Amino acid sequence: MLSFTCDYNEGAHPAILERLLASNLEQVPGYGADPYTRSAKDRIRQALNRPEADVFFLTGGTQTNATVISAVLKGYEGAVAAQTGHIAVHEAGAVEFTGHKVLTLPQHQGKMDAAELEAFLEGFYAEPAYDHMVFPGLVYISFPTEYGTIYTKAELEALHAVCKRYKLPLYIDGARLGYGLMSPECDFTFQELAGLCDVFTIGGTKVGALCGEAVVFPGGNAPAHFFTTIKQHGALLAKGRLTGIQFDVLFTDNLYFKISRNAIDMAMQLKAMFRRKGYELFLDSPTNQQFVVLDDAAMAVLAPQVAFEIWEHRPDGRTVVRFATSWATTPEQLARLEAMLP
Amino acid sequence: MLSFTCDYNEGAHPAILERLLASNLEQVPGYGADPYTRSAKDRIRQALNRPEADVFFLTGGTQTNATVISAVLKGYEGAVAAQTGHIAVHEAGAVEFTGHKVLTLPQHQGKMDAAELEAFLEGFYAEPAYDHMVFPGLVYISFPTEYGTIYTKAELEALHAVCKRYKLPLYIDGARLGYGLMSPECDFTFQELAGLCDVFTIGGTKVGALCGEAVVFPGGNAPAHFFTTIKQHGALLAKGRLTGIQFDVLFTDNLYFKISRNAIDMAMQLKAMFRRKGYELFLDSPTNQQFVVLDDAAMAVLAPQVAFEIWEHRPDGRTVVRFATSWATTPEQLARLEAMLP
Amino acid sequence: MLSFTCDYNEGAHPAILERLLASNLEQVPGYGADPYTRSAKDRIRQALNRPEADVFFLTGGTQTNATVISAVLKGYEGAVAAQTGHIAVHEAGAVEFTGHKVLTLPQHQGKMDAAELEAFLEGFYAEPAYDHMVFPGLVYISFPTEYGTIYTKAELEALHAVCKRYKLPLYIDGARLGYGLMSPECDFTFQELAGLCDVFTIGGTKVGALCGEAVVFPGGNAPAHFFTTIKQHGALLAKGRLTGIQFDVLFTDNLYFKISRNAIDMAMQLKAMFRRKGYELFLDSPTNQQFVVLDDAAMAVLAPQVAFEIWEHRPDGRTVVRFATSWATTPEQLARLEAMLP
Amino acid sequence: MLSFTCDYNEGAHPAILERLLASNLEQVPGYGADPYTRSAKDRIRQALNRPEADVFFLTGGTQTNATVISAVLKGYEGAVAAQTGHIAVHEAGAVEFTGHKVLTLPQHQGKMDAAELEAFLEGFYAEPAYDHMVFPGLVYISFPTEYGTIYTKAELEALHAVCKRYKLPLYIDGARLGYGLMSPECDFTFQELAGLCDVFTIGGTKVGALCGEAVVFPGGNAPAHFFTTIKQHGALLAKGRLTGIQFDVLFTDNLYFKISRNAIDMAMQLKAMFRRKGYELFLDSPTNQQFVVLDDAAMAVLAPQVAFEIWEHRPDGRTVVRFATSWATTPEQLARLEAMLP
């Protein structure tokens, strides 16, 4: 059955599998000391034009968020996130497991507002008993957000400015980074991103890898002994070549961005298709996640033929569903979907 | 350069890569709900002849140890391990990070002694102020041990009997499980192993997989909601197919054991070769890790031509080094090594 | 300067100091094995008519909440609390420090609504990916709440019924328990309270003790080795006599309830006084915390003469302030306050 | 029955109770903002001649150790302690509960050896895979030790020098600090102590207080927001006056040292008495804990008449027992003991 449930339904981009195959019997050292990992780090630094950047590879998103956040925070600090932020809701308390609270702010189509962040921080320090409370120690946002929306450059600059004023690192969870950067509405580059935050991730799992997230501290500002922290969190691969090779391939000839672009092209066609057919969109997402409102009749027709994610049940009886495209989505799949649409 | 530094120098067994390739564009659900993961679990249950067993797949050894141990222990309990136990030394405090102490016992070529365990437990409860101390809550051993040695069936039975007497789960870290079971000195089967402990792991990373450890609760005795605990520990792969496919292949046609056997065959030849040439063995290891004592002359000849791990510097100036064979070791590699030996 | 800032401005009830003095040079064992602690536990069991109850003494409220909650929860569970719950806001992340998330529900004058709790729990288990989220593992309420309000018996029964349906322990933080039970609006007894929850605390610090909170598991349902957990959390006094003697005195001749009653009598007079003088009350609190709305003129007159807590600044420029009475408040203090009121 | 089981059998020094009584109805702010706490901190700074010192008051020893250690350590670090160190054995895993390993070194009558510490640190960094292991992040010793022994000034200087070389804070647990400093064998002063370490505690519970430990960062080097960390660890008293008053009294007119001296005088007489009577001493302790070897006959006579702590059972059938004197021990008690000695 055709599936648009998420952007990790398929395996890996074929070029990754090829390279895994080609290098398979080479003997290389473990724990990221192999030449592939070294090369992958260099390519990312080059793509960012930041030779000083610290780059690390971990395997999964929850793991990466918990490891980065707990390494950056001091014991008495928490992470500030939007109410719908992934770390606030869908990570089984992984951040709290490391001993830190997630402090939540309102969300606007998944985004945090710089003015609201500033008001929160001002209010925190204005509170007489603030030292009985969890200190905000880092600001977490994701790009794109849970709703597929993206921040503009001005919005990121505003958030980063507030963060700097309060000496808070800004952390961007880029589990779907490529899909955000390749959106037609994105008004900044990968290189500019590195200047708009203090640490960010480059998601592999949802963008063509079997597994793997790159963590980038663009100013060479990784916490001391971050390698050991990764090990302690159970996030260090013995065969570091597995993530090294994948990111090496993804950052060769811009593959990461090319395949991200495919997902966006497909998503824009999918959105246009739903609009043409008169469907209501839940919100106007500029990335690979598209949210469509279906009535019972449409649900009855589609559900048996194509897989998608139920997002929420509306009071009027209709259902918001999510269609996610990916690096692997093809025009043929869209044509099949279109043929099904009532 | 030829390398015997460890058993994870190569990529994956070719059959694994083939299957990854063949299934690559199939769309399957994430988080272990895919058919490959289901099949892999079934094959492990069949190999154990335990349809009731709970099976989970994680990515790495440290992660697996920390997740299992903290899920099994109560808050006031610690894990009992040999002084040289992996969790006691080489995991960057991953168990302590979850809030639990590692309680150590003496080691005998890496092994824990059942009588010493019993004496420790007796002594603990005889101590008037034992409730001011960390309760032993689980016994951790590895099979094979850090020294490549293995427990006999009688030794495991003795340990397990003590554990049962004190109601402590016995946990066997099987990061190199296949190499232990295929040793000519191993006097029990994979199926029997499941009856000799309460939870054990089947190491993939060191036995032919790119990554992956299977956790088996042979009696269906997994802690409640262990899936969520895995997620919370950052140990859940979005593309569960990655570990599912690997273990599905490894447990098809006994591949796991066949390739483990190759490592053992090669290790026995390597050991015989060193003996023939008059080298002293540090201990008589029955598995894929062989420990040889080299003098300066031998070091000077070998070090530039073949990689191995320095184990310890002896007071007499000689060096104990480790040669590890693996599923991928070939007779040609042994022949090359032999040609180098002074 | 006269102070109504909180209910722990004074030292201890004189009867407590007398007994500390009288017993001072007796040699008794440490860690709660002394006769005073034994007697105090017995008196609490008698007052509850529950010989089976487990009783423990800790020193402070934050400590008690974190210790109880983390001992009761499993690793993958969190505590459900109202948004304004003490553990959600004012305890510096003490619960998260133990690895657990606080899941928040709306508050209604500080109270949690049983129907909203049920809807939340229903919604949680209806969520397809609930096993990627923190499981609700315990319900936390305080009696009285942060706003001085109290639950009726029917409201507690409703909450407890929901908890039982979902097998969640109901935990009542009674830091100000006496002030709630002695409220004229409280429609149940201390003995009935024990049947309305699974674990509760009897606050000493705010009700006449120098320090000390009693934890009661009314059905003898304390977690295994809770003593050791108390020690591990740094919450075990070497001189257990200090809390033992205090609770022994407080539960002799109903002292705890008598002095709580004084605070309530004084609070009701204070409330009446403000009403008589035409002040607006922020809410109609039935306990020892009274919330009054002051304009700038009143603030200017009062602030230099009497201490109180600023609760919140209203958009209309007026200020909500809190006056807290206690076991030590006297009619003379009220008269002095009345004389100041403009 | 006469008791020498420990140094916290009695309540508080009478001067403390007097002051608690005299100040009881004064209304003062909570959480350490009261004038008594301020005064106590000043007196300690004066006694140390260090106006820059940061001083905090907590309630118990385990709590203090866990709070200080986890505030000072980074996430990937552990605390180095002697095998017999209190944190290694008798604190129910309180340090591990905060996520940190206790790394142990051999003990010599309870003491850590500077050369062994240096060798351990050298060895750690010489280990090729040290970044897979827990980093030593702080050195913990107690003064006096678990065996009542004390470090000489030269020994502390040697330890401190090693610590500085490796940039490790040296933390001295002074639960019995007064008893160490007042020992006839102690060759340095309270003021000098502050220069021999980076953080130390002044034990109140065992030296005349009802409860309370002072934490001193002599160079004003407290971790940022240590107040909030104290709160988060459940170690902050609402009625901070309780510890404030006690330390204010203890540091008025040198009371802390005077009463410590009494314990030492009594201990020296007790030791002399046992020697005179021909008893074997287990070790020659210079402080308030005296270890005597008793045969069965002596045990049979003494056990029914006087309480003491069983330290260990010797292979020859005899028993090592501990007699602890305290600030409250009197010549009459010694005389009664002498009369009992067979």
Instruction: Transcribe B209-245 into DSSP letters.
Output: -SS-EEEEETTS-PPTTHHHHHHHTT---SSTHHHHH
Q: How far is D309 from chain C (nearest CA, A)?
A: 11
User: Is there a contact between B156 and B189 (Cβ–Cβ < 8 Å)?
Assistant: no
Q: Which of D204, D237, D254 is the last residue of a domain?
A: D254
Is the Cβ of D227 closer than 8 Å to some Cβ of chain A?
Answer: yes
C-alpha to C-alpha distance for A77 and A89, rounded to whole angstroms: 19
* Domain match, C26 and C58 both: yes
Picking from D78, D91, D96, the nearest residue to B99 by CB comes out as: D96
Q: CB-based contacts of C175: which residues, under 8 Å, 6+ apart?
A: C61, C86, C142, C201, C203, C205, C206, C213
Q: CB-based contacts of C294: which residues, under 8 Å, 6+ apart?
A: C279, C302, C318, C319, C320, C321
pLDDT confidence tier of residue B38, bands split at 50, 70 and 90: very high
* Domain match, D284 and D147 both: no
User: Is there a contact between A340 and A302 (Cβ–Cβ < 8 Å)?
Assistant: yes
* Domain match, C96 and C117 both: yes
* Domain match, A301 and A245 both: no
User: Is there a contact between A148 and A92 (Cβ–Cβ < 8 Å)?
Assistant: no
User: Is there a contact between B200 and B45 (Cβ–Cβ < 8 Å)?
Assistant: no
**Whole-angstrom Cα Rg for chain C:** 20
Q: Which of D230, D254, D278 is the last residue of a domain?
A: D254
Written as six digits, the tokens of A257 are: 């961005």
**Whole-angstrom Cα Rg for chain D:** 20
Which amino acid type is present at position A298? Answer: A
pLDDT, tens digit, 9 for 90 and up, residues C166-218: 999 999 999 999 999 999 999 999 999 999 999 999 999 999 999 999 999 99
User: What is the percent of chain B with per-residue pLDDT over 70, rounded to a whole number?
Assistant: 100
Mean pLDDT of the region C27-34: 97
Mean pLDDT of the region C128-156: 97
- The predicted pLDDT at position D1 comes to 86
pLDDT confidence tier of residue B186, bands split at 50, 70 and 90: very high
Total tally of structural domains belonging to chain D: 2
Q: How many CA atoms lie within 13 A of C175 on its CB side?
A: 25
Written as six digits, the tokens of C121 are: 């729990």
User: Is there a contact between B70 and B110 (Cβ–Cβ < 8 Å)?
Assistant: no
* Domain match, C223 and C306 both: no
pLDDT, tens digit, 9 for 90 and up, residues B77-99: 999 999 999 999 889 999 999 99
C-alpha to C-alpha distance for A284 and A109, rounded to whole angstroms: 10
* β-pair type (A309-313, B135-142): unpaired
Q: CB-based contacts of B174: which residues, under 8 Å, 6+ apart?
A: B142, B143, B180, B200, B201, B202, B203
Q: Between chains, do B94 and A233 touch, taking CB under 8 Å as contact?
A: yes
Q: Between chains, do D239 and C5 touch, taking CB under 8 Å as contact?
A: no
| Chain C residues closer than 8 Å to D62 by CB | 231-232, 234, 236
User: Is there a contact between C173 and C112 (Cβ–Cβ < 8 Å)?
Assistant: no
* Domain match, B301 and B177 both: no
Q: Which of C253, C271, C295 is the last residue of a domain?
A: C253
C-alpha to C-alpha distance for C18 and C250, rounded to whole angstroms: 12
Candidates D250, D282, D104, D87; CA nearest to D177 is: D250
End-to-end CA distance of chain B: 18
Which residues 15-34 in chain A show a CB within 8 A of chain B? 17, 20-21, 23-30
Phi, psi dihedral angles at A292 (to 5 degrees): -120, 145
Q: How does the average pLDDT of chain A come out, rounded? A: 97
What is the per-residue burial (b if ≥16 Cβ within 10 Å, else e) of A268-278?
A: bbbbebbeeee
Candidates B83, B142, B144; CA nearest to B108 is: B83
User: Is there a contact between A70 and A159 (Cβ–Cβ < 8 Å)?
Assistant: no
* Domain match, C182 and C281 both: no
Detail the DSSP E strand segments found in chain C. Answer: 2-3, 54-58, 77-82, 102-105, 135-142, 170-173, 199-203, 213-217, 280-281, 289-294, 306-307, 309-313, 319-324
Chains contacting chain B through 3 or more C-beta pairs under 8 A:
A, C, D
Chains contacting chain C through 3 or more C-beta pairs under 8 A:
A, B, D
Which residues 68-127 in chain C show a CB within 8 A of chain B? 70-71, 74-76, 99
Phi, psi dihedral angles at C205 (to 5 degrees): -50, -40
Size of interface A-B (CB pairs under 8 A): 158
User: Is there a contact between B22 and B249 (Cβ–Cβ < 8 Å)?
Assistant: no
Beta bridge partners of C216: C55, C200
- The predicted pLDDT at position A128 comes to 86
Size of interface B-D (CB pairs under 8 A): 56
Detail the DSSP E strand segments found in B20-101. Answer: 54-58, 77-82
Q: Between chains, do D134 and B101 touch, taking CB under 8 Å as contact?
A: no
Beta bridge partners of D136: D78
* Domain match, C154 and C44 both: yes
- Which run of H or E residues covers position B281? strand B280-281
Residue corresponding to tokens 């000695």: D341
* Domain match, B53 and B198 both: yes
Mean pLDDT of the region B168-191: 98
User: Is there a contact between D67 and D171 (Cβ–Cβ < 8 Å)?
Assistant: no
Other Cβ atoms less than 10 A from the Cβ of B116: the count is 15
Mean pLDDT of the region C309-332: 95
C-alpha to C-alpha distance for B171 and B194, rounded to whole angstroms: 11
Which amino acid type is present at position A188? Answer: F
Look at the alpha carbons of D250, D254, D260, D263 in this order and tell me if their dihedral is positive or negative: negative
Other Cβ atoms less than 10 A from the Cβ of B64: the count is 28
C-alpha to C-alpha distance for D238 and D205, rounded to whole angstroms: 18
Beta bridge partners of D77: D135
| Chain A residues closer than 8 Å to D228 by CB | 76, 131-133, 135
* Domain match, C121 and C78 both: yes
- The predicted pLDDT at position A151 comes to 98
Below-70 pLDDT ranges, chain D: none
- Which run of H or E residues covers position B309? strand B309-313
pLDDT, tens digit, 9 for 90 and up, residues C87-109: 998 899 999 999 999 999 999 99
Q: Is A6 helix (H, G, I), strand (E, B) or coil?
A: coil
* Domain match, C135 and C241 both: yes
Helices (H) and strands (E) in chain C, counts: 14, 13
- The predicted pLDDT at position D141 comes to 98
Domain CATH for D286: 3.90.1150.10
C-alpha to C-alpha distance for A216 and A177, rounded to whole angstroms: 12
Is the Cβ of A133 closer than 8 Å to some Cβ of chain C?
Answer: yes
- The predicted pLDDT at position C128 comes to 86
Mean pLDDT of the region C293-297: 96
Between helix A255-276 and helix A331-340 the angle, nearest 10°, is 20
User: What is the percent of chain C with per-residue pLDDT over 90, rounded to a whole number?
Assistant: 98
C-alpha to C-alpha distance for A236 and D188, rounded to whole angstroms: 48
Other Cβ atoms less than 10 A from the Cβ of C277: the count is 12
Domain CATH for B78: 3.40.640.10
What's the Cα-to-Cα distance from A181 to each of A177, B2, B188, D126, rounded to whole Å? 6, 43, 56, 45
User: Is there a contact between C206 and C176 (Cβ–Cβ < 8 Å)?
Assistant: yes
**Whole-angstrom Cα Rg for chain A:** 20
pLDDT confidence tier of residue C1, bands split at 50, 70 and 90: confident
Q: How does the average pLDDT of chain B come out, rounded? A: 97
What's the Cα-to-Cα distance from A332 to each of A6, A301, B22, D294, rounded to whole Å? 18, 20, 20, 90
User: Is there a contact between C283 and C185 (Cβ–Cβ < 8 Å)?
Assistant: no
**What is the chain C residue with the closest CA to A89?**
C133
User: Is there a contact between A206 and A228 (Cβ–Cβ < 8 Å)?
Assistant: no
Look at the alpha carbons of A188, A193, A197, A202 in this order and tell me if their dihedral is positive or negative: positive
* Domain match, B237 and B291 both: no
**What is the chain C residue with the closest CA to D5?**
C29
Candidates C246, C266, C250, C267; CA nearest to C258 is: C250
- The predicted pLDDT at position B134 comes to 97
Here the ipTM equals 0.96
Picking from B90, B91, B132, the nearest residue to D92 by CB comes out as: B132
- The predicted pLDDT at position C226 comes to 98
Identify from D24, D69, D259 which residue to disrupt to test chain C contact, counting C C-beta atoms within 10 A and taking the largest count.
Answer: D24
Detail the DSSP E strand segments found in C95-235. Answer: 102-105, 135-142, 170-173, 199-203, 213-217
Written as six digits, the tokens of D177 are: 């600090």
* β-pair type (D280-281, B102-105): unpaired
Written as six digits, the tokens of C161 are: 């019924």
C-alpha to C-alpha distance for D45 and D222, rounded to whole angstroms: 14
Written as six digits, the tokens of B283 are: 């201990």
Q: CB-based contacts of B78: which residues, under 8 Å, 6+ apart?
A: B100, B101, B102, B103, B134, B135, B136, B137, D93, D96
Largest separation between any pair of C-alpha atoms in chain C: 63
pLDDT at A275 over 90: yes
**Which structural domain, as residue segments, surrounds residue A302?**
2-7+256-340
* β-pair type (A199-203, A170-173): parallel
pLDDT at A103 over 90: yes
